[in-house]
């Protein structure tokens, strides 16, 4: 009997368990999935939680429900991956593996910036990348009447790179609806050269910040949060004052990657960007936010990766060459507020452009253009996530590799 061990039962790990359980011969392979937590969160919902658009129960379910029969769900903390001996050391016990899939994700590391994880954490300084953070922020926003709200990105890469912008747009709508928009100043602070950094998007979407009266501070390389004086300070001594700081802290891979000596400086695992095999170990594969591949850290990316990775695990077992197939495909709805959204579809090579999706001319969704239909798409995605995505069911008409159909390329 051989063992395939999946580390992490988040989006990627759960999808891999569902894909592989029907494909690996049961007489030869035993599948384990390891995760210390009981709750599975719908992370895209964390964007809506602070604005009372979603409730707590809409963004969490018991993780066990999504782990298929035939897969052994081990609810334990992972101590260390011993890649020399093909072992996973758990809090209580040890698992040996023939194939390991690392799906341990990424998480915020507010300790990386001086003063961020301070006594003001979740009092005047908030994140919305965790369930607890999003909830704390919701409670804060319910009583926020006026002042300076700063939406801030610490450094790239981050999970769901558009989420902070979406947050700023939704905040504009939220305060508008409450009738206090004129009393709240919203500023978007980024380490990048702009809110939109690609040629085409900056041309087509540049209007959004102005239209919503969101101030922009680009090229801001944060040095510290001066939490006693309510300001963030950067290395060039730029300062931005806040009453409410909503920050996306540094994102890092899980500590278990560091403990196991398998990661880069940010604890992401060096991974082949087309096969998803780890660079250092042939029998270790990596998926989702845990990799260092230059794709967006997003659920749709993990979904497309899972299809390629399933094929590659089977090829690896049969000692055949792996497919260099994954192309960095991402497909994301971007909320722009006032019940509208944009859709972007892109990969390693092709930056987001306008057009229709998934069908040329017909759509029905429009790329890079605000529409109410796209907003419904985003809301419908929650159902798709729980009922199709996690179960490894392909999404109709959306292929693992990016399609150029309907895209206005070279325009």
Partner 1 sequence: MIKTIKNIELNVNDEGYLQDFSQWTKEIGIELAKEHDIELTDKHWEVINYIQEQVAANKPLSIRGIKKSGVIDIKQFYALFPGGPLKVSTKIAGVPKPKSCI
Binding site for partner 1 (CB under 8 A): 112, 155-157, 161-162, 165, 191-193, 196-199, 201, 205, 219, 221, 223, 235-236, 250, 264-266, 273, 292-294, 296, 330, 332, 334, 344, 346, 352
| DSSP-H helix ranges across 55-153 | 131-142
Nearest residue (CB) to partner 1, 182 versus 193: 193
* Alpha carbon distance 403, 358 (integer Å): 8
27: tokens are 């007489």
Q: C-beta of 252: minimal distance to partner 1 in Å?
A: 12
Nearest residue (CB) to partner 1, 18 versus 291: 291
Cβ-Cβ contacts under 8 Å for 65 (sequence gap 6 or more): 40
Nearest residue (CB) to partner 1, 10 versus 352: 352
Answer whether 10's CB lies under 8 Å from 106's CB. no
Q: C-beta of 274: minimal distance to partner 1 in Å?
A: 12
Q: C-beta of 157: minimal distance to partner 1 in Å?
A: 5
Q: C-beta of 247: minimal distance to partner 1 in Å?
A: 14
Helix (H, G, I), strand (E, B) or coil at 369: coil
Nearest residue (CB) to partner 1, 62 versus 264: 264
| Full strand arrangement of the beta sheet holding 214-217 | 125-126, 244-248, 147-153, 184-189, 214-217
Q: Dump strand ranges (E) for 218-329.
A: 222-226, 231-234, 239-241, 244-248, 251-253, 284-286
Nearest residue (CB) to partner 1, 265 versus 319: 265
Q: C-beta of 404: minimal distance to partner 1 in Å?
A: 18
Q: C-beta of 169: minimal distance to partner 1 in Å?
A: 13
Nearest residue (CB) to partner 1, 150 versus 353: 353
C-alpha distances in angstroms, 381 versus 169, 254, 375? 19, 27, 10
């Amino acid at each position: 009997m051989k063992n395939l061990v999946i580390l992490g039962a988040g989006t990627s790990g759960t999808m891999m368990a569902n894909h592989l359980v029907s494909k690996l011969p049961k007489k030869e392979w035993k599948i384990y999935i390891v995760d210390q937590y009981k709750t599975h969160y719908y992370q895209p919902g964390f964007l809506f939680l602070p604005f009372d658009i979603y409730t707590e129960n809409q963004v969490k379910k018991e993780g066990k429900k999504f782990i298929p029969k035939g897969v052994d769900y081990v609810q334990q903390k992972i101590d260390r991956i011993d890649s020399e001996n093909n072992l996973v050391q758990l809090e209580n016990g040890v698992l040996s593996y023939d194939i390991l899939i690392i799906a341990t994700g990424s998480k915020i590391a507010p300790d990386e910036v001086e003063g961020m994880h301070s006594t003001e954490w979740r009092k005047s300084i908030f994140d919305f990348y965790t369930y607890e953070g999003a909830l704390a922020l919701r409670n804060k926003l319910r009583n926020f009447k006026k002042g300076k709200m700063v939406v801030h990105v610490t450094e790239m890469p981050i999970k769901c790179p558009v989420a902070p912008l979406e947050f700023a747009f939704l905040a504009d709508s939220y305060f508008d609806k409450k009738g206090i928009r004129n009393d709240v100043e919203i500023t978007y602070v980024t380490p990048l050269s702009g809110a939109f950094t690609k040629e085409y998007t900056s041309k087509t979407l540049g209007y959004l910040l102005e239209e919503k009266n969101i101030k922009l501070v680009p090229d801001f390389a944060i040095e510290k949060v001066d939490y006693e004086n309510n300001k963030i300070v950067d290395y060039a001594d730029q300062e931005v004052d806040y009453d409410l700081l909503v920050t996306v802290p540094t994102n890092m891979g899980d500590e278990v990657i560091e403990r196991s000596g398998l990661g880069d400086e940010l604890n992401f695992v060096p991974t082949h960007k087309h096969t998803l095999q780890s660079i250092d170990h042939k029998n270790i594969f990596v998926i989702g936010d845990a990799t260092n591949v230059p794709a967006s850290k997003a659920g749709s990316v993990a979904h497309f990766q899972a299809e390629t990775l399933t094929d590659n695990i089977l090829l690896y077992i049969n000692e055949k060459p792996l497919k260099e197939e994954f192309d960095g495909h991402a497909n994301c709805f971007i909320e722009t507020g006032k019940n509208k959204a944009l859709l972007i579809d892109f990969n390693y090579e092709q930056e987001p452009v306008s057009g229709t999706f998934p069908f040329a001319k017909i759509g029905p969704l429009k790329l890079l253009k605000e529409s109410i239909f796209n907003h419904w798409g985003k809301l419908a995605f929650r159902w798709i996530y729980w009922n199709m995505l996690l179960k490894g069911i392909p999404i109709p008409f959306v292929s693992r590799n990016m399609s150029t159909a309907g895209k206005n390329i070279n325009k």
